[in-house]
Copies of this chain bind each other. A is one copy, B any other.
Amino acid sequence: MTTDINLSINTLQKAYASGETSPEQLIKSLLVEAKSLTAVWIHLLTETEIAPYLANLKNMSPETHPLYGVPFAIKDNIDLAGIPTTAACAEFAYTPEKSAFVVEELIAAGAIPLGKTNLDQFATGLVGTRSPYGATPNSFNPKYISGGSSSGSAVATAKGIVSFALGTDTAGSGRVPACFNNLVGLKPSKGLLSTSGVVPACRSLDCVSIFALTADDANTVFQVAAKYDEDDRYARKNIAENIKPVVLNNKFTFAIPKAEQLAFFGCDSYERAFIQAVTALEKLGGTKVELDFTPLLDAAKLLYEGPWVAERYIATQDILEEQPEVMMDVTRTIISQGDKHSAVDTFYALYRLQSLKKLADKLIGQVDVLVTPTAGRHFTLDEIAQEPMLYNSQLGYYTNFMNLLDYTAIAVPTKFTSKGLPFGVTLFSDAFTDQKLLTYAKRIQDDAQLSLGATGWTLPKTTLSTESDAFIDVVVCG
């Protein structure tokens, strides 16, 4: 905890309204705290660099600008005007004149950027250790990994330096670090958050993701950020029922994988935590169904073994072909495989994916929401150093299939293990179900009453929750 002020958005706005603090005061103290973090920032903004954003608040009001004075962090593969974008590769860096589309939307709503955060180089990894700017330690226990690739964004949020942060999530990079740092991690429907001004990993799969302390905060940020971008070739228009929070029936059905498809890679505490999360969901009104997740797990494998690595190759082609030595060994080893596949391989993989999607959609259609552990095991930095490839791939077991199959997902904390490390589940469903998933995530969070991130702050009560409780037996949606 870095300040007495709970940075969850509603609470922070009350603190501004009451005069308890001001954006200027708050940001100043946050910057001081920010400097104490290890390997979180690639570029922490100076007071001078932040000044224009604070000055802009004079033309805004908290009533009309939902993110008025709200500090946030930006993964360093997303552009902030005037600050280098490195993607964790100094030799790749460029300084954009314009911020990424989503960053512009957030700033226009009053949000204040604090810095650009560390990541697994070129967003290739789920560990948070593959960066020349250092391995990012976990916010609860520095012997453990933060998870990646959006490592710095997750830890900055968990440590209470920002109210929320932007990550990217191609294969799990927004969910795994949310799990390991006790955060909500929204991997929105593909195409709802613009990727203009984002360094691609796999351009056809990339999503900008949101780390937040609460599901309500994730929703507030989502509503600001999810604007249609004419210039993003992969942008999709949102559907009416997915724009504002939805009210759902108290009773719902959820699917988990068959017992033999649950993998914890030897981690008993995560296994117990998942069983408890399932019990908690049942107490919340959920009816559990065990389904055969084979099509999802097969799609996950397809991402690792298939031709999509060619997209990473395309994204880094200049560096790879001209100065491969500047790339981290592990990153180069992975990405340089990208020119080994043929068009024939690619179409075979696309056909296979289409078949799996057909089967997976049948699962999705059977229940209101699907639930898995977000990760099967939490690793230490030492473990990852010893087995950098195998353990990384284990971290993607529940996450890799999501964008390939065009699903929406949210990671939500449910429990601390006996070692005091966080565990959480991922809820997922079809594209354009962001609001439905945010509602379920909110219920889980309201029920679990865990403190926020690694801050010790308590979960604020929100009006929204009280209001919707009155409705949920009446209005059925989704």
- Residues of A participating in the B interface, judged by any CB pair closer than 8 Å: 203-204, 233-235, 307, 310-311, 313-314, 317, 338-348, 350-351, 354-355, 357-358
A307–B233 Cα distance when bound, in Å, is 20
* A341 contact set on B, CB distance < 8 A: 342-344
Asked if B311 and A347 sit within 8 Å, CB to CB, the answer is: yes
Nearest chain B CB to A57's CB is how many angstroms away? Answer: 35
Chain B residues closer than 8 Å to A311, beta-carbon distance: 347
- The distance from the CB of A346 to the nearest CB of chain B, in whole angstroms, is 4
* Interface contact B347-A204, CB-CB below 8 Å: yes
Most chain B CB inside 10 Å of its own CB: which residue of A233, A314, A338, A346 = A346
C-alpha gap A461/B234 in the complex (Å):
46
Task: Tell whether, in the assembled complex, residue B310 and residue A347 are in contact, meaning their CB atoms are under 8 Å apart.
Answer: yes
Q: List 20 A-B contacts (CB under 8 A).
A: A203-B347, A203-B351, A204-B354, A233-B351, A233-B354, A233-B355, A233-B358, A234-B354, A235-B358, A307-B346, A310-B342, A313-B344, A314-B344, A314-B347, A338-B343, A339-B342, A340-B343, A342-B342, A343-B345, A343-B346
Report the bound CA distance from A341 to B351 in whole Å: 17
Q: Is B344 within 8 A of A347, CB to CB? A: no
Are the C-beta atoms of A344 and B310 separated by less than 8 Å?
Answer: yes
Specify which of B234, B317, B343, B351 is in contact with A307 (CB 8 Å cutoff). B343
On chain B, the residues within 8 Å of A204 by CB distance are: 347, 350-351, 354
Q: Which residue of B lies closest to A311 (CB)?
A: B347
For A315, the closest partner residue in chain B by CB is: B347
- Return the chain B residue nearest A339 by Cβ: B344
Compute how far the CA of A317 lies from the CA of B343 in the bound complex, rounded to whole angstroms.
13
Question: With the chains together, A346 CA to B204 CA distance in Å?
Answer: 12
CA distance A341 to B358 in the complex (A): 27
Instruction: Determine the chain B residues whose CB is within 8 A of the CB of A343 once the complex forms.
Output: 307, 310, 338-343, 345-346
Residue of B nearest to A232 (CB): B358
* Whole-angstrom distance between the Cβ of A359 and the nearest chain B Cβ: 9
User: What 7 A-B pairs have minimum CB-CB distances, sorted nearest first?
Assistant: A341-B343, A310-B343, A307-B343, A233-B354, A346-B346, A343-B346, A233-B355
Q: A307-B346, A339-B342, A342-B343 are in contact. List 4 more A-B contacts (CB 8 A).
A: A233-B354, A233-B357, A310-B343, A341-B344
Shortest beta-carbon distance from A200 to chain B in Å: 9
Q: How far is the CA of A161 from the CA of B110 in the complex (A)?
A: 71
Closest residue of chain B to A351 (Cβ to Cβ) is B203
| Min distance, Cβ A250 to any Cβ of chain B, angstroms | 30
Closest residue of chain B to A356 (Cβ to Cβ) is: B233
Complex CA gap A345/B342 in Å reads: 9
Given the complex, which residues of B lie within 8 Å of A310, measured CB to CB? 342-344, 346-347
- Interchain nearest-CB distance for A340 vs B (Å): 8
Residues of B near A358 (CB, < 8 A) are 233, 235
CA distance in complex: A1, B350 (Å)? 46
Chain B residues with CB below 8 A from A348, complex form: 314
Closest to A234 in B: B354
Chain B residues lying within 8 Å of A342, measured Cβ to Cβ, are 310, 339, 341-343
Q: How far is the CA of A19 from the CA of B345 in the complex (A)?
A: 58
Bound complex: CA of A350 vs CA of B314, how far in Å? 12
Shortest distance from the beta carbon of A204 to any chain B beta carbon, whole Å: 6
A436 to B210 Cα, complex, angstroms: 41
A46 to chain B, nearest CB (A): 37
Question: Could you tell me the distance in whole angstroms from the C-beta of A30 to the nearest C-beta in chain B?
Answer: 39
In angstroms, Cα B342 to Cα A339, docked, is: 7
Cα distance A49–B458 when bound, in Å? 78
Q: Are B346 and A347 in contact (CB under 8 A)?
A: yes
Given A233-B358, A358-B233; A344-B338 close (CB under 8 Å): yes
Nearest chain B residue, comparing its CB with the CB of A230: B358
